[in-house]
Amino acid sequence: MEGAVACNARAEQAGWIHYLGVTASRSDERDDLAKLMLTEELDFVQLNYSLDNRGVEQKLLPVAVKSGIAVMVNIPFGHGRLFKAVTNQSLSDWAK
């Protein structure tokens, strides 16, 4: 990951790109991504985040806030799992 970021940082400095970001979708990448977010000048990260996949709340979201890194949410409905979980359920009165 770090080598790619260094290469992209040079491309950004040369004016070839405007925003530099990283995508990480697996939970075993979180520690490496947090380190990268604290040591590199990233504009954004893309993370898997949904009501049934909230692992990024503990470390990555606070690091993003601290570092001023924008977050793009990936798979917000868990590949459709959240919709399947509420199929044939009635809406509450306040939601209607």
Which pLDDT does position 11 carry in this prediction? 76
Q: Are 50 and 75 in contact (CB under 8 A)?
A: yes
Q: What is the mean pLDDT of residues 82-93?
A: 85
- pTM comes to 0.73
Q: For the chain, which domains are there?
A: 2-85 (3.40.50)
Instruction: Convert 64-73 to b/e letters by CB count within 10 Å (16 or more is b).
Output: beeeebebee
Q: What is the pLDDT of residue 78?
A: 78
Per-residue pLDDT tens digits for 3-46: 566 666 677 778 888 888 998 888 888 999 999 999 988 999 99
Helical H runs in the chain? 2-13, 30-39, 60-67, 81-85
Kindly state the helix (H) or strand (E) to which residue 22 belongs, with its residue range.
strand 21-24
Looking at residue 59, its pLDDT comes to 92
CA distance 23 to 14: 22
Bridge partners, residue 50, by sequence:
53
